[in-house]
Structure 1
Amino acid sequence: IIKNWQSEQVHDGMGSSRKYPNSTIEACLQIRMVLKLPLRQTQGFIDYLLELMKRPDLKSPDYSTLSARSGTLGLTTPRFKKGENPTSDIAALAIDSTGFKVFGLDEWHSKKHKLNAKRTWKKAHFGVNNDHYIQGALLTSKDVMDFQVVDQILEQVDHELEAVTMN
């Protein structure tokens, strides 16, 4: 795999040439599945491995390339049924939220035309375990804080927890 890390240039008629052959993408995704890493951490881990191997000429495929190409390789990600999930014995859950705009003009447009745009925001609250699996989720208005939805998120978790943290 290392010999052909970036050697294959395949052009399928759309976009630019592929910098990484399928074997490289598959190796990265296999490492990801074994270590249960998110895509960004997989990219960083592979870059670190290449650095340890003293191969400054090689670089990991970026996380968006890994994501886009994963669907074309036919790899299957393990899925677990209720009762088989290895995360069912998690001890901790982290709860955090993110906001997103529902409707309204973007900031650039408002600034350019000196408009006072009225925006509506929603908040998505997530309960995530150590393996980065979402255990519970809730969509609320922008004014709801994480501590206000703890009970509703915990109702979605079907196993015992030792700790819950929030930001």
Structure 2
Amino acid sequence: MLISRGDITLWFSDEVIDAWEHENAEKRAGHPFVYSDLAIETLLTIRELFRLSYRQTEGFGQALARLMNADMPIPDYISLQKRAVGLGVSIDVVVDSTGLKVFGGGEWKVKKHGAGK
């Protein structure tokens, strides 16, 4: 049982896979987005969790998709870097005895210390 605590199993949920591609409902100048904000945020969370470079994150995403037999394109490292700036994602990763939880935008601080602190 204690050995199982060291097991790391990752996968993309069906919700993430279904929303992987950007809908491009708005007209904008330049090339339309290929990947949804959710896809970029998912990979940026993995990047933050494992402290990877953007190139390593791209490779990790490709390996994970291959492992899952998921036919989904993975953003290249330049796209990840550019979209990360535009999204302004703030991620807090917390690990305790109950497992791993990823919080966004200071959510963990509010839960830990209460609102307004």
Which TM-score applies when normalising by structure 2? 0.60
Question: Which among 89, 99, 102 is matched to residue 75 of structure 1?
Answer: 89
Structure 1 or 2: more strand by fraction? 1
Matched, 1:64 2:78: yes
CA separation in 1, counterparts of 2:25 and 2:57?
Answer: 23
Give the % identical residues. 35
What are structure 1's unaligned runs of at least 5 residues?
79-167
Say whether the 8 Å CA contact 1:40–1:63 is kept in structure 2. Answer: yes
Secondary structure, in 3 states, of the residue corresponding to 1:33?
A: helix
Please identify the structure whose Cα radius of gyration is greater.
1
Matched, 1:52 2:98: no
Question: Which among 30, 43, 57 is matched to residue 42 of structure 1?
Answer: 57
Say whether the 8 Å CA contact 2:22–2:37 is kept in structure 1. Answer: no
> For residues 141-167 of structure 1, what are the alpha-carbon distances to aligned partners after superposition, in whole Å with 9 as ceiling and x for unaligned?
xxxxxxxxxxxxxxxxxxxxxxxxxxx
Q: Number of matched residues? A: 77
Secondary structure, in 3 states, of the residue corresponding to 1:72?
A: helix
Say whether the 8 Å CA contact 2:47–2:54 is kept in structure 1. Answer: yes
CA separation in 2, counterparts of 1:47 and 1:69?
Answer: 18
Question: Which among 39, 44, 69 is matched to residue 29 of structure 1?
Answer: 44
Q: Residues 47-126 of structure 1: matches in 2 within 5 Å?
A: 47-55=62-70, 57-76=71-90
Structure 1 or 2: more helix by fraction? 2
CA separation in 1, counterparts of 2:25 and 2:76?
Answer: 17
Question: Which among 18, 29, 34 is matched to residue 19 of structure 1?
Answer: 34
What are structure 2's unaligned runs of at least 5 residues?
1-15, 93-117
Structure 1 runs of 4+ off > 3 angstroms? none
CA separation in 2, counterparts of 1:66 and 1:35?
Answer: 16
Which TM-score applies when normalising by structure 1? 0.43
